[in-house]
Chain A
Amino acid sequence: MSWQTYVDDHLMCDIDGTGHHLSSSAIIGQDGSVWAQSSSFPQIKSDEINGIMKDFDEPGHLAPTGLHLAGTKYMVIQGEPGAVIRGKKGSGGITIKKTGQALVFGIYDEPVTPGQCNMVVERLGDYLVDQGL
């Protein structure tokens, strides 16, 4: 099972049989290295990864400035301190879950709901945490 398979089959899957799926997703190492990503996942910058990691260490760090991803700005809404960061942009948004060594990204837009994105991203994230990855 390659990392790309996790992205293609588990992150970009059909959500609950609705025919909908995330806009893009990725599994990125906490050092910024790209383990796997969907074709349309944006080109993330190293300082953006650093900002995200800092927000996991100091929850609230990104709130006043927003979460940036390849130039796109998301407003930070309630996540789970140290474990999940959630952002919103219009009707879409982003969920980022931290695992032992990686960050799991899910980006969505209508008609996918925030709850659905959370389920997909955090389910895979939980699995990786259980595996110590």
Chain B
Amino acid sequence: MYGGDEVSAIVIDLGSHTCKAGYAGEDAPKAVFPSVVGAIDQMDIDGTADINDENSDKTKGKCKLYVGSQSLGYRRDHMEVLSPLKNGVVVDWNIVDNIWDHALRECLLVDPKERPMLLAEPCSNTQEQRERAAELMFEKYKVPALFLAKNAVLTSFASGRATSLVVDSGGGSTTVVPVLDGYVLQKAVIASPIGGEFLTDCLMKSLEGKGITIRPRCSFKKKEIHPGNLQTVDLDFPHTTESYKLYSQRVIASDIKECVCRTPDSPYDERVYSNIPMTPYELPDGQIIEVGSDRFKIPDILFNPLLVQTIPGMESFAEIAPSIRGLPKMIIESINKCDVDIRRELFSTILLTGGTASMHQLKERIEKDLLEESPQAARVKVFVSGNATERRFSVWIGGSILASLGSFQQMWFSKSEYEEQGASYIQRKCP
């Protein structure tokens, strides 16, 4: 048994959009940086190398990786932007390794051999994924102890509740997860690919459809023509990759979304919203754009995915949109898959979390829709932290609390257990 009382554990939450890392016991992660990395192919600069997608470490030995906001914020010729995840599942462990390395050695400045490690994981994580994470942590980082905890359980923990229905609308997806006495009811988990990034892409396409061009910051600079008079000058970097341009545009579109979007009170109707006042937003290049009905239409996609079909450029998603359910329906479907005895409690303890949970009026709309669609006897209550940090980092905060508890210390999967029993033991130690 590992005695973890001497030093603070490290808590890492590698989400689909950002990676959060910090010390257990603290109230916010020390490091927050993108979960995507820059990659420059070292063997064939023209990028014609044949990448075998079946190789789970396709970037190993072939690419130089750039991790963190600072590295990604600096444009480089031929630098692609890659994600280690696909549909929420790790497909490139080499990238994950580099992200962990960046978090531990460059952000937190710790030696992982000296500290137990708590990793947050998605509810859909497979046994194989868990074992791979354990192997990497014990073999490469030589951690003294490890624990894997599910995102929803940690969010529930952060709110001080052992039982709840966690609605996590993050960057890459939205999931609805019932948590009972600190454990996920796996059969009732409902997931949707519509998350913050999807909404950002919809907004970007919609603006482009109206003739608005979002210029990546690296494609221009401002020159002072006369004192106090700045002029935007185009810069030409022909070797900038498409994925890097898209990444840069998404950062800006995401900010537009956060500044101007608001969840409508009721289902979005084109006729009702076509005449609403526009809201101005200044792009980094100085261009001022006016955002109108998109302010309400984009957030409503969470409730009515069919709206995607009306956005030019989103054709690839239009075909699957009919099969995706809106948020209230996901919630009701999840609860209906649970035991009848706990449904009432779940309806009355719905925790809204994730970056997209910060959308204005989202909680109110969910509550309203649920009151209309839920059983008569259900007392619907949606909780969302009033603190933006807690909303965004609830998974990490839950991990920080959990790893600090005295009663948790006996639960660590120790290095000696790993060496004696192997990686598959993770399934028993961290059920």
Contacts and interface: CB of A to CB of B under 8 A. Distances in A.
A133 interface: no
Interface in B259-278: none
Contacts, number: 69
Nearest to B123: A78
A65 B342 CA distance: 11
A78 B127 CA distance: 11
Contacts of A76: 185, 187
A118 B428 contact: yes
B339 interface: yes
Interface in B377-431: 407, 410-411, 427-431
A116 B184 CA distance: 18
Give the dominant DSSP class at A's interface: mixed
Nearest to B178: A75
Interface string A89-105: 11100000000000000
Nearest to A112: B410
B410 A77 contact: no
A113 interface: yes
Contacts of B184: 77-78
A114 B341 contact: no
Interface residues of B, number: 25
Nearest to B188: A63
Contacts of B428: 115, 118-119, 122
Contacts of A17: 1
A47 to B, nearest CB: 18
Contacts of A89: 181
A88 B411 contact: no
A66 B337 CA distance: 11
A65 B339 contact: yes
Given A16-B1, A76-B187, A80-B127, A66 B430 contact: no
B181 A60 contact: no
B94 to A, nearest CB: 28
Interface in B95-133: 127
Contacts of A54: none
A77 B127 contact: no
Contact of A90 (B181, B411, B430): B181
Q: Give chain A's interface residue range (CB within 8 Å of chain B).
A: 20 to 34
A113 B187 contact: no
Interface string A61-75: 001111000000101
Nearest to B189: A78
A77 B411 contact: no
B422 to A, nearest CB: 12
A118 B410 contact: no
Contacts of A75: 180-181, 183, 185, 339, 342
B431 A64 contact: no
B338 interface: yes
Contact of A64 (B183, B338, B429): B338
A118 B427 CA distance: 9
Interface of B: 1, 127, 180-188, 337-342, 407, 410-411, 427-431
Closest 3 CB pairs of A and B: A63-B187, A118-B428, A77-B183
14 contacts: A18-B410, A63-B187, A63-B338, A66-B339, A66-B341, A73-B339, A75-B342, A86-B183, A88-B183, A89-B181, A113-B410, A113-B411, A115-B430, A116-B410
